[in-house]
Chains A and B, each alone.
Chain A
Amino acid sequence: MSDPVLSIRDLTVEIPTRGGLLRPVDQVSYDIAKGEILGVVGESGAGKSMAGNAVIGLLNRPAKITGGEIWLNGTRIDKLQGENMRRLRGKDIGMVFQDPLTSLNPLLTIGDQLTETMLQHLSITQTEARKRAIAALEEVGIPAASERLDSYPHEFSGGMRQRVVIALALCAEPSLIIADEPTTALDVSVQAQIIALLKRLCRDRGTAVMLITHDMGVIAETADRVAVMYAGRLAELGPVREVITAPEHPYTDGLMGSTPLASKGLKRLRQIPGSMPRLTAMPTGCAFHPRCPKAQDICRHDPRPRRDGGRAACHFPITHSAEETA
C-alpha cells in the first residue's frame, strides 16, 4: 500500500466534566489510502463522529485531542492551530454532513456557496469559479446546472440537496472526504443513488473517504475496509468482506447477527444483551466484557486487549474455518 492519505495513531479525545474525564475516542488508530473508502461503524455514542470531527479540527470545547497523532498527506495536523489549520482543512478535507437541510445556508444560492468555497482555496477568478461550479453540479447529476446555480437550497429536494453538498465537498479538490452519515436523513430510494454517486466520484478522483455510518448495508455496499468502534475504542478493523462474513470480535459478531442481511435468509435476529456502557462508567479491561458471551477473567483486568497484528482487539477472537470466510 502506498502512503496513506490519512493516518490516525492512538487518537484520544477527552472531555473534562464534573463527573470526571470522559474519553469519547480512546486510542483509535486507522489509515485510509488514496482512493480507498473506509467505513466507520458503531452504535450511537461509539465515538465515530467524534473521531471524524477531531480529524477536521471541529471539536467543540471542552472536548479536545489529548493523545495520539493525525497525519494527512505526510503532515501532522493534530497540533496545527488557527490559520494553518484553517487553510489546510478546507483545502484538503471535504465534509458531507448528515442533514442536507441544515448543511446549506438557506439564504445564499448554491452558486454563491460553491464559489465561496472555491475562491477560498483555489486561486481562480469569479468567472472561472462559476464555470467550475456548473461543472461540479453537472458532475453530481443536477440537470440544467447553469440555471440551478442561482437557485436557493429550499428549491431542491433532499436528495438533490445532498448532491449539492457532495459537489460542495468536492469542489476544492480535497484529498480526503469525511462523510458523516450522509444518507441517514434521506429516503431509502435516494440513499443508494447518493452512495453510488459518492463512490463513483471518489474512485474517479482517487479521493480517500471516511464514511461514518451505523448502517451496515451502506458499509457492505460501499466500503473497502471497515473499522468497528465500540465505546470510543476500535473493536475490529479489516477488509469489509472478511469483517462481515467472518467477524473476529464478539461485538462485531453480535452486530452482524443483529443486522438483517438478505444473504443470510430469514432467521430470527440475534440481539446483544445489555447496552453500551456510559462513558462515565467504563468497565475495566475490555469495554465489551459485561456483554460478551466469551468473556473470561482476563477480559476484566487491565491492560485491555489491543489489536496486535490481528483484526480484532480481543483476547479470544472468533476463529473461522476456511469455507466460512470464502
Chain B
Amino acid sequence: MTDLPQIPPQVRAKAPSRFTRAWDSDFAYQFRRSPVAIISFTVVLVLVLAAIFAPLIAPYDPFDPASLNLMNGFSKPMEPNAFTGDVFWLGTDDQGRDVFSTILYGLRISLFVGAAAVAFAMVLGITLGLLAGYVGGWVETIIMRVADVQLTFPAILVAMLIFGIAKGITPVEYRDQMAIWVLIVAIGLSDWVQFARVVRGATLVEKNKEYVQAARLIGRGSGAIMLRHILPNVLSPVLVIATISLALAIIAEATLSFLGVGAPPTQPSLGTLIRIGQGFLFSGEWWILLFPAATLLALALAVNLLGDWLRDALNPKLR
C-alpha cells in the first residue's frame, strides 16, 4: 500500500539527541524520583571513586614500611599523637598505619575482588545457562544437576573448599600473590548457579518466541542465535542479580578474609582489616575495627539497595 500519505520532512520532529533520549527515558525518570536510588548510587559512586583513586587520596602509604613510625601507633581519631603530634583523621593501628589510608586501599581490594568474582560468575553462569536453555537434552541435565547439587551447600562453604584446595596446590612462595585471584575464582565459582538458573529460565521463554524461530528459519546458526538474539533479551534480570551478587560477593570476600582464609595481611581487604581490628576492640582501640566495618556496611547496603531498586525499575509489573 504505497498510497499512504508521505509525511513532509518539515512536519517531522527533530530526532532527539542520545542524551535527551536517555534523560527522558522511563529508567532515568524512575531514578530521579527515587531518593533511595539517588543516595545509594551516590554512596557507591563515592566509594568506587575513592577506591580507584586511593593512591592519590590517601594521606599515607600504609604499605610502605619506610613511612611508618611505630611511635604513631594507636593514635586516636582526630587527636594529635602523644609522641609525635601527628593528627590522623581516623586514628592509627598498632603499627602506626593510618586507618583512613588502609580503608581506602582495603576498599580497592574488596571492590576489585567483588566485581571480578561477579564478572567471572556472570560469564560462567550466562554461558552455561544459555547452553542449558537453548540446547536442552543431556547438556541441560548435566549443567542443571551440577547447579542443584552446588546449591545445597552454602556458598561460603563452597568458596572455602575451593580456596583450601587452591591453597594446597600453590607453592608457598606464591601464596600471597595468588590469594586474590584464588579468592575471585572461589567466590565466582560459588556464585554462578543463580545466573545459570535465571538465564536458562529466560532462554526457555525466549527460544520459543517466533523471532527466534524466524532466525532459525533464515538459517542463522545456533551460536549466532544465542549471542545475537537470545542473550540481549535475557540480560535485564541478569543485571539485577549481578548488582545484588556484588553486595554478596563483597560480603563473602570479607567473611573469608575475616576467617583468615582470604586476602593476606600484606594486601588487606576490608575483611582483613576487620579481623585485625577486632583484636583491639576490648582493649579500647575501637576505631581500628569500627571504621573499616562501617565502610563495609555502607558499601554492602548501598549496593544492595541499588540492586533492589533496579529490580523494581526493570520490572514493568511493579510500576
Contacts and interface: CB of A to CB of B under 8 A. Distances in A.
Interface string A130-170: 00000000111101100100000000000000000000100
B317 interface: no
Contact of B219 (A89, A97, A103, A106): A89
Interface in B201-229: 209-211, 213-221, 228-229
A104 interface: yes
A4 interface: no
A273 to B, nearest CB: 35
A106 B233 CA distance: 8
Contact of A95 (B217, B220, B229, B233): B217
Interface of B: 1-7, 12, 209-211, 213-221, 228-229, 232-233
A101 to B, nearest CB: 9
A93 B217 contact: yes
Contact of A58 (B4, B5, B216, B221): B216
A117 B228 CA distance: 13
Given A120-B220, A144-B12, A168 B214 contact: yes
Nearest to B214: A103
A90 interface: yes
Interface of A: 56, 58, 86-87, 89-91, 93, 95, 97-99, 102-108, 116-117, 120-121, 138-141, 143-144, 147, 168, 172, 193, 197
25 contacts: A58-B216, A58-B217, A86-B219, A86-B221, A89-B217, A91-B219, A97-B213, A99-B210, A103-B209, A105-B211, A105-B215, A105-B233, A108-B228, A120-B218, A120-B219, A138-B2, A139-B2, A141-B2, A143-B4, A143-B6, A143-B7, A147-B12, A168-B214, A172-B218, A197-B1
A86 to B, nearest CB: 4
A117 B5 CA distance: 28
Contacts of A143: 4-7
Contact of A121 (B7, B219, B228): B219
A124 B218 CA distance: 16
Contacts of A106: 211, 233
A120 B232 CA distance: 20
B1 A141 contact: yes
Nearest to A82: B221
A120 B218 CA distance: 7
Given A86-B219, A105-B233, A141-B1, A95 B214 contact: yes
Q: Is the interface of B mostly helix, strand, loop or mixed?
A: loop
Contact of A97 (B7, B12, B210, B233): B210
A103 B5 contact: no
Nearest to B207: A60
Nearest to A91: B219
B219 A107 contact: no
Contacts of B228: 108
Contacts of A121: 218-219
A253 B215 CA distance: 39
Given A58-B217, A141-B4, 5 more contacts: A97-B213, A102-B209, A103-B214, A138-B2, A144-B7
A54 B233 CA distance: 28
* Residue among B5, B216, B221 with most chain A CB within 10 A: B216
A116 B218 contact: yes
A108 B230 CA distance: 11
A178 to B, nearest CB: 9
Given A90-B219, A144-B7, A102 B12 contact: no
A144 B214 CA distance: 25
A107 B117 CA distance: 28
A280 B209 CA distance: 27
Contacts of A103: 209-211, 213-214
Contact of B229 (A87, A105, A117): A105
A89 B213 CA distance: 12
B215 to A, nearest CB: 8
Contact of B211 (A56, A102, A193): A102
Nearest to B216: A58
* Residue among B1, B2, B4 with most chain A CB within 10 A: B1
A103 B2 CA distance: 24
Contacts of A172: 218
Contacts of B211: 102-106
A193 B3 CA distance: 13
| A-B pairs with lowest CB-CB distance, top 8 | A141-B1, A90-B219, A103-B210, A90-B218, A86-B219, A97-B210, A102-B209, A105-B211
A120 B210 CA distance: 18
B217 A107 contact: no
B13 to A, nearest CB: 11
Contacts of A58: 213, 216-217
A56 B217 CA distance: 7
B6 A107 contact: no
Contacts of B209: 102-103
Contacts of B210: 97-99, 102-103
Contacts of B1: 140-141, 193, 197
Nearest to A193: B1
Contacts of B3: 141
B157 to A, nearest CB: 38
B133 to A, nearest CB: 14
Contacts of B232: 107
A104 B233 CA distance: 12
B135 to A, nearest CB: 11
A55 to B, nearest CB: 11
Contact of A144 (B6, B215, B219, B221): B6
A81 to B, nearest CB: 13
* Residue among B209, B210, B216 with most chain A CB within 10 A: B210
B250 to A, nearest CB: 31
A116 B3 CA distance: 28
Contacts of B6: 143-144
